[in-house]
Structure 1
Amino acid sequence: MASNHNKLTSSRVAIIGAGVSGLSAAKHLAHHNPIVFEASDSVGGVWKSCTYETTKLQSARVDYEFSDFPWPNRDDTTFPSYIEILDYLESYAEHFDLLKFMKFGSKVIEVKYL
């Protein structure tokens, strides 16, 4: 009975996407050893795959940062560029050792509840 109980109470955590939300979820669920399925070859999500390289954020840096990971140059009054945002997200993933949870090149095409 104990082994059956363990199967019912243990869980596997899957996170779809290594964008801003996926990275934050991975950090907060790290104790569950999540798997982050990311279709591309790196972190960044929509910023990486669906944004022009000439795009800049329309918010100040301090208004677009993780609460536990401030921008290194948060007093800079310019709006962060596409490259700066990707670098920031990559730094966040490295700082919190999240890359070990990533399965790059893994596109989720269907989710079913069993």
Structure 2
Amino acid sequence: MTDADERQLYDHAFASYRDLFGSMDGPARALWFFTMDEAEILSFPVSAGQDHAEAGIRHGVKLAAMADALEALLGSQESAHEVNDLRRIAAQHGYRGKAEGTEPC
């Protein structure tokens, strides 16, 4: 996955999750995280012939965008637990984030 591919995926996911979370109040977001934990956070598809490691990194990019969208809407204090969990899982999938010295996503 190239840096451009990663950035495009991130930008799309960030906008989608920002719109999704922005339309929810706190209880609705909590319910979404509870019900979507397996489908959106803990699992990811690997297409036939796709490299498992690349699929994991793509999932990590999505999770990082999800964390950033949540933090952008709620602030770092209100969403710290969820944001930290999402970023930890993203790193476990091999998402390395942006290189030092570059603008954060």
TM-score surpassing 0.5?
Answer: no
- Structure whose residues are more often helix by fraction: 2
TM-score using structure 1 length: 0.32
Superposition TM-score, scaled by structure 2 size: 0.34
User: In proportion to residue count, which structure has more strand?
Assistant: 1
Structure number with greater Rg is: 1
